[in-house]
Structure 1
């Protein structure tokens, strides 16, 4: 009798813990977190972002309107980090983190904004949209980025190529669009600085 009571109690506890674990299980994120990094020259370049899916929708021109600044990902802001100073868009940027925003264009190059505060995208929301003037105010640099169309990338992805191990190419690909921009890791300048110390 004692054994059957103990067995029943053990089964009840097992079932209760199973239900508790199941209740804590959440559905997978619709736009899962992703990251990519690459060392180019002396610089580690890292990008943290969320990766939404197309799911049969028309993304650019409908969900993300042309001429309207977008967070270049989903959920939180997309953040790029440089471990050393780099040159992007003709401007030298210090080491650190920058939020990426993009302004899609129906034809031609897109505008890329690297935001110096790396602030939450929600800090720039106004009336349910990104306040473009507030983003521009905090830009460390903004520049035109080359755009290619064709193919289909179901989930938004970022890639970093090492190129000649001096200048990296950062590419965002989603739906039928690839937006790319160079990041000069200033290898020659850093080598000259190093030599001048001796």
Structure 2
């Protein structure tokens, strides 16, 4: 009798443990976290973002409306970080973190915003959408970029290429669109600074 009770108790304990483990099991994220980094010249460039999938939808023009500023990813804001001072869009940016926003256009150039506040994207939300004026007020730099149309990229991706190891090309690709911009890591200026220090 005791052995039967012990057996039932052991089975109950195993089942309870299994249910607890199952309850803690998380399903895969719809837009999983992703990151990419590349050293160019003296500068490490890193991008942290979430990677949503197309899943048969029309993304630009429907999910992400034309003329409406978008966080250039999903879930939280997309963050780009420079380990040293760089030049982007003709403007010098100090080392640090910046939020990337984009404003898609139906025809012509998109606007890319590198925002000086790497705070929560939700701080810019107003009536269910991003407050574009608030984003623009915090832009460290914004500039126009012509989209390149190509093959389908199912899951949003960022790429960083070293180009000539002085200038980096940063590309966001999703659906049939690629948006690229150049980051000058100011190698020559930094070398001049080193020389003048000695």
TM class by shorter-chain length? over 0.9
Q: 1-side partners of 2:113 and 2:132: how far apart?
A: 10
Alignment partner, residue 195 of structure 1: 195
Q: Secondary structure at the match of 1:119?
A: coil
- Equivalent residues of 1:46, 1:80 under 8 A apart: yes
Q: 2-side partners of 1:10 and 1:158: how far apart?
A: 51
C-alpha displacement of 1:6: 3.0
C-alpha displacement of 1:119: 1.6
C-alpha displacement of 1:17: 0.5
Alignment partner, residue 106 of structure 1: 106
Q: Secondary structure at the match of 1:164?
A: coil
Q: Does 1:115 align with 2:115?
A: yes
Q: 2-side partners of 1:38 and 1:174: how far apart?
A: 20
Cα deviations by residue, 1:88-127 (Å, 9 ceiling, x for unpaired): 0000000000000000011222110000011211111111
Q: Secondary structure at the match of 2:146?
A: strand
Q: Secondary structure at the match of 2:156?
A: strand
Cα deviations by residue, 1:126-182 (Å, 9 ceiling, x for unpaired): 111111000000000000123100210011000000111100000000000000000
Cα deviations by residue, 1:50-96 (Å, 9 ceiling, x for unpaired): 01111111110111111111110001000000000000000000000
- Equivalent residues of 1:146, 1:181 under 8 A apart: no
Q: Secondary structure at the match of 1:61?
A: coil
Q: 2-side partners of 1:12 and 1:88: how far apart?
A: 62
Q: 2-side partners of 1:157 and 1:98: how far apart?
A: 18
Q: Where do 1:37-52 residues align within 5 Å?
A: 37-52=37-52
Unmatched segments (≥5 aa) in structure 1: none
Alignment partner, residue 28 of structure 1: 28
Q: Does 1:145 align with 2:142?
A: no
CA RMSD of aligned residues (A): 1.0
| TM-score, normalising length: structure 1 | 0.97
Q: 2-side partners of 1:196 and 1:27: how far apart?
A: 56
Alignment partner, residue 170 of structure 2: 170
| TM-score, normalising length: structure 2 | 0.97
C-alpha displacement of 1:11: 2.2
Unmatched segments (≥5 aa) in structure 2: none
Q: 2-side partners of 1:146 and 1:164: how far apart?
A: 22
Alignment partner, residue 93 of structure 1: 93
